[in-house]
Amino acid sequence: MSVRYTEFHPRWHRPRMSVFWWVGRRSYLVFVLRELSSVFVAWSVVFLLLLVHAVSEGGKQYQQFRNLSSNPWMLALNVVTLAFLLFHAITWFNLAPSAMVVRMRGKRVPRSWIAGAHYAGWALLSALVAWLIVG
C-alpha cells in the first residue's frame, strides 16, 4: 500500500465577499456610486470628443452628431450621465476643504469659504461657457 504524502499547505482564511457588499450601508453605497461616476465622466468626455470631431469635420458630420444626440436612448443616457456628473461635482466641491488647508494671517480659512469659492467658480465658469456657446 502506497502512502500518499501531501505537502503541508496552510489554507488561507479568506471569507467570501458578495459582489453586492456595498448595498447594505448608505456610506458604502455612496462610495461605490461615486467611484462609478467615473465611468460616466469618461462617457461624457467621449461624447464631447465626438462633438469636437464632428465640428472639425464639417456641417454634415455636425448634423449627424445632432441627430445622434437627439435619439431618445442617447437623451436618456445623457440624463443619467448628467445626474452622475452633478453627483461627482458636488461631492468633489464638498471634499475640497478637507484637501486644501489655506492659511491667511496665521489663521485657517474656514471650510465653508473654500467650498463656497469652489461653488462660485463653478457657477462663473458654467455661465461663461454657456455664454460662449449660445452666443
Partner 1 sequence: MAKRRAEPLVWLLFTSGGLAAALLLPVLLVLFGLVFPAGWASAPAEAHLLSVARYPLTRIVLLGLFALPLGAQVPLHALRGTPAQAPQQADHRRLLRRRASGIGLRGLPLAGRPMSQGRLLAIS
Residues 6+ apart with CB under 8 A from 126: none
| The three cell numbers locating residue 2 | 502506497
Interaction residues for partner 1, span 42-61 (CB under 8 A): 42, 44-45, 47-49, 51-53, 55-59
Contact between 33 and partner 1 per CB under 8 A: no
| Binding-site string for partner 1 from residue 69 to residue 108, where x marks contact by CB under 8 A and - marks none | xx---xx--xx-xx--xx-xx--xx-----x---------
Question: End-to-end alpha-carbon separation of the chain, Å?
Answer: 91
**What minimum distance in Å lies between the beta carbon of 17 and partner 1?**
6
| The three cell numbers locating residue 41 | 465622466
**What minimum distance in Å lies between the beta carbon of 34 and partner 1?**
8
Per CB under 8 A, residues contacting partner 1 are 12, 14, 17-19, 21, 31-32, 35, 37-39, 41-42, 44-45, 47-49, 51-53, 55-59, 62, 66, 69-70, 74-75, 78-79, 81-82, 85-86, 88-89, 92-93, 99, 121-122, 125-126, 129-130, 132-135
